[in-house]
């Protein structure tokens, strides 16, 4: 294929995709990412995920494949499985789900029949689409009884959970959330599930990295099934995993394949194995602790500047800001902040008077900025920018000035430096005119539009 003859195969073969990738890298390098569900994988994870393992069909499981030539594939998948079991103290791990939603789907299909009753956190109170939202497969297939948070504390009301469980006798109780800033009482959920004879599934897509580091309660001893994504706080490639007791292993494995998936994405599983190895290193626990410290630093600074934080704080890597006192919708806040170089998402707050399209809140998470090496001083700076942009929505000049300051800060905390070879970061840095090559204090080089 003559790779060596091409300075840069992607650019030669597909200049349009090449440019889109370079520009997205530029976006990642020069903007602050506060999306709680995003992160920057390490160079090692990036390389494994972009590796030749994408070429291999490997239906089945290690030593039980339907294709030949799987000996090295088996090595990668076994490493991912063993590391996941070790990190979370689980008896069994399935690392093949293509995403978090498919991990959840596999558990539902393994234990439920269409029409069965399940209970899960209301989407409007922080739950996830795949926990029974009417527009998801889960809402369409099952009789979903949502539970919510209390109006007073904005935290999950365990008395309501028990009352609903006793009344509706669900086959499955789902716990876990997408935008819930507090610890979840997995032990209490386990008690309620046992009392009513329900299965318990804990979806820890968000706090999985914190759990791996021992900084968040673990559901593993309490839940029959634990699902997670590998790309949020776990800082791995996009994907899902399922953990369960040994007695459920065969049921889960056959439901993932052939039940709902075909061949596993072995390049992604290789990336998962690498991310899980990184999660076993001591500096991963330090990283997770800094995520928490950064989250506290930013939310306290915002509180000090008069912003109301839903539940009054956070136990994890994210928090919600209630924008009602500013009279601003989350949607507008998100657009204004984007202009200022700060990326986050609009979010419903509990009992939100606005629709999901508008929302009264924004969600803020610190995994990605922490990966860049930012600490408390930078969190104070970011909170200051957030505060000023939100309070002066008519000031486009302010947003432009902050955008330049954001870029300067980002360049002090670079990502993907030192990669070599034909990897995209190198390509993007190799004089495309897209990246801001702006030595601190030097003359800015003009950027292309993005």
Ligand X SMILES: Cc1ncc(COP(=O)(O)O)c(C=O)c1O
Active site residues: 57, 59, 203, 229, 232, 238
Structure tokens at 77: 């998948």
Radius of gyration of the chain (CA): 23
For the sheet with 361-365, list strands across it: 308-309, 318-322, 361-365, 345-347
Backbone φ, ψ for residue 81 (5° rounding): -60, -50
Q: 219 vs 79, 80, 91, 148, 184, CA distance in Å?
A: 23, 20, 13, 19, 9
Query: Shortest approach of ligand X to residue 130 CB, angstroms?
Result: 5
Query: Shortest approach of ligand X to residue 210 CB, angstroms?
Result: 14
Burial class for 250, CB neighbours closer than 10 Å (0-12, 13-18, 19+)? exposed
Query: Shortest approach of ligand X to residue 229 CB, angstroms?
Result: 5
Q: Does 176 bind ligand X (CB under 6 A)?
A: yes
The interface region with ligand X, picked from 26-34, 98-106, 162-170, 353-361 by CB under 6 A, is 98-106
Count of other CB atoms within 10 angstroms of residue 428: 23
Q: Considering only residues 134 through 163, tell me which ones interact with ligand X, judged by CB under 6 A.
A: none
Residue from the set 35, 47, 99, 326 that interacts with ligand X by CB under 6 A: 99
Query: Shortest approach of ligand X to residue 306 CB, angstroms?
Result: 29
Residue from the set 100, 217, 236, 264 that interacts with ligand X by CB under 6 A: 100
Q: Does 206 bind ligand X (CB under 6 A)?
A: yes
Separation of alpha carbons 42 and 425, rounded Å: 12
Backbone φ, ψ for residue 179 (5° rounding): -145, 60
CB nearer to ligand X: pick between 101 and 290: 101
Residue from the set 65, 92, 125, 128 that interacts with ligand X by CB under 6 A: 128
Please tell me the total number of residues recorded for the chain in this structure: 450
Separation of alpha carbons 385 and 332, rounded Å: 16
Q: Does 359 bind ligand X (CB under 6 A)?
A: no
CB nearer to ligand X: pick between 170 and 207: 207
CB nearer to ligand X: pick between 237 and 341: 237
CB nearer to ligand X: pick between 219 and 425: 219
Separation of alpha carbons 63 and 246, rounded Å: 18
Q: Considering only residues 233 through 252, tell me which ones interact with ligand X, judged by CB under 6 A.
A: 240
Q: What single DSSP character describes residue 241?
A: E
Structure tokens at 416: 């993907």
Element (H, E) at 332: helix 330-339
Q: Does 229 bind ligand X (CB under 6 A)?
A: yes
The interface region with ligand X, picked from 81-89, 96-104, 136-144, 439-447 by CB under 6 A, is 96-104
Residue from the set 37, 172, 174, 389 that interacts with ligand X by CB under 6 A: 37
CB nearer to ligand X: pick between 205 and 292: 205
Determine the size of the site formed for ligand X (CB under 6 A): 14
Per the CB < 8 A criterion, the answer to whether 416 and 425 are in contact is yes
CB nearer to ligand X: pick between 176 and 361: 176
Q: Does 203 bind ligand X (CB under 6 A)?
A: yes
Interaction site with ligand X (CB under 6 A): 37, 99-101, 128, 130, 176-178, 203, 205-206, 229, 240
């Amino acid at each position: 294929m003559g790779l060596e003859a091409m300075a840069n195969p992607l650019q030669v073969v597909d200049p349009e995709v090449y440019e889109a990738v370079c520009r997205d890298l530029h976006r990642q390098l020069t903007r602050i990412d506060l999306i709680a569900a995003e992160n920057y994988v390490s160079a090692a994870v990036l390389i494994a995920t972009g590796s030749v393992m994408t070429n291999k069909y490997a239906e089945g499981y290690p030593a039980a494949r339907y294709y030949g030539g799987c000996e090295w594939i088996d090595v990668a998948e076994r490493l991912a499985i063993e590391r996941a079991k070790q990190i979370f103290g689980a008896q069994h791990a399935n690392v093949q789900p293509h995403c978090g939603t498919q991990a959840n789907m596999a558990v539902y299909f393994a234990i439920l029949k269409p029409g069965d009753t399940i209970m899960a956190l209301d989407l409007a109170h922080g739950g996830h689409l795949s926990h029974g939202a009417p527009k998801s497969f889960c809402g369409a297939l099952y009789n979903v009884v949502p539970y919510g948070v209390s109006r007073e504390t904005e935290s999950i009301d365990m008395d309501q959970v028990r009352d609903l469980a006793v009344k509706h006798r669900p086959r499955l109780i789902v716990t876990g959330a997408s935008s819930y800033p507090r610890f979840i009482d997995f032990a209490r959920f386990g008690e309620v599930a046992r009392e009513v004879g329900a299965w318990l599934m804990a979806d820890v897509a968000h706090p999985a990295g914190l759990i791996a580091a021992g900084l968040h309660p673990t559901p593993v001893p309490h839940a029959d099934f634990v699902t997670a994504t590998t790309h949020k706080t776990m800082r791995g490639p996009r994907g899902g995993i399922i953990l369960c007791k040994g007695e459920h292993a065969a049921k889960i494995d056959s439901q993932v394949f052939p039940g709902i998936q075909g061949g596993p994405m072995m390049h992604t599983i290789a990336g998962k194995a690498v991310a899980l190895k990184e999660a076993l290193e001591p500096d991963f626990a330090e990283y997770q602790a800094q995520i928490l410290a950064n989250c506290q630093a930013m939310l306290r600074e915002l509180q000090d500047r008069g912003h109301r934080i839903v539940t009054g704080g956070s136990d994890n890597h994210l928090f919600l800001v209630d924008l009602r006192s500013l009279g601003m919708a989350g949607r507008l806040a998100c657009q204004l902040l984007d202009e200022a170089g700060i990326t986050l998402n609009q979010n419903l707050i509990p009992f939100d008077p606005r629709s999901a399209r508008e929302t009264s809140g924004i969600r803020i998470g610190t995994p990605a900025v922490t990966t860049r090496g930012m600490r408390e001083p930078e969190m104070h700076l970011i909170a200051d920018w957030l505060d000023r942009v939100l309070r002066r929505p008519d000031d486009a000049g302010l947003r432009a000035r902050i955008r330049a300051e954001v870029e300067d800060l980002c360049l002090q905390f670079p990502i993907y430096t030192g990669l070599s070879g034909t990897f995209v970061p190198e390509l993007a840095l190799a004089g495309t005119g897209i990246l801001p090559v702006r030595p601190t204090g030097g003359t800015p080089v003009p950027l292309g539009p993005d």
